[in-house]
Amino acid sequence: MADEAGTIVSENVKANGEDTAPAVGMLNQYIKDLSVENPHAPHSFNWDAGPQIDVQVNIQANAITDEVHEITLKLAVKAESDNGVHFSVELDYGTLFGLRNVSEEQAHPFLFGEAPRLMFPFARRIVADAVRDAGYPPLVLEPIDFNALYLQQLAQAQQMAETQPAGEA
C-alpha cells in the first residue's frame, strides 16, 4: 500500500508506533517449591545397590493477565533401591512469559512446548545442585523434547475425542 506521497506503508503499522507484531518474552523465573528428602542418610551413602531413578514431569499454565502467563515446570525425581529411598527431589519451577499479539493457536503450543524447553536447563541445574547438596553425585537429567511431547499429547487427545461416541463427555 502507498500513501499520497508514494511512500510504501505497511498495513501492520499503527499510529503512534503501536506495536502489532507478535512478541514473546521471559519476564521472570523463580522456584515456587523445592523439597529435598534424604530419609535414610547417612546409611544410604553406604548402600551397595545402585538406585533406580524415576523422573516425573508435569507442566501447568496459568493466565495471570491477557498478556502474562505463568508456566510451572514440575519435576519429581526419586532414587530408590531394594534398601529403600536414597533421595527424593520435587521442584516446582515457575516462569512468567509475556505474550503480545499472539493468537490462541500460537500461544498454546508455545506455552506447553517451547516455554518448558526454555525453562528446563535452569530447572535441571537446580535438581543437580539439590542432589549434590543431599550428599550424592549431581544428577544431570537428560534433555527432554517438550515440543515432541506436546505434539504426542495433542494427537492422543484428538484420537480420544474421535473414538468417544457423540454426546458423551
Query: Percentage of the chain with pLDDT > 70?
Result: 86
Q: What's the pLDDT at 131?
A: 96
Q: Which residue has the cell 519435576?
A: 75
Give the total number of structural domains in the chain.
1
> Would residue 14 count as lying in a domain?
no
> Would residue 135 count as lying in a domain?
yes
Instruction: Compute the average pLDDT of residues 76-100.
Output: 96
Cα 139 from Cα 15, distance rounded (Å) = 53
Tens of pLDDT, residues 123-153: 999 999 999 999 999 999 999 999 999 999 8
- Rg over alpha carbons for the chain, rounded to the nearest Å, is 23
The enclosing domain of 38 has a CATH number of 3.10.420.10
Say whether pLDDT at 99 is over 70: yes
Q: What's the pLDDT at 79?
A: 96
Residue 14, C-beta contacts closer than 8 angstroms, at least 6 positions apart:
20
> Would residue 155 count as lying in a domain?
yes
> Would residue 51 count as lying in a domain?
yes
> Would residue 138 count as lying in a domain?
yes
> pLDDT-based confidence at 58, cuts 50/70/90?
very high
Distance of CA 146 to the CA centre of its chain: 8
> Would residue 169 count as lying in a domain?
no
Alpha helical stretches, state H, 17-143: 104-109, 115-133
Helix axes 115-133, 146-163, angle to 10 degrees: 120
**pTM for this one?**
0.81
Q: What's the pLDDT at 17?
A: 56
Tens of pLDDT, residues 9-25: 555 555 555 667 889 99
Boundaries of domain holding 133:
28-160
How far is residue 141 from each of residues 56, 129, 138, measured CA to CA in Å?
Answer: 11, 12, 9
Q: What's the pLDDT at 48?
A: 86
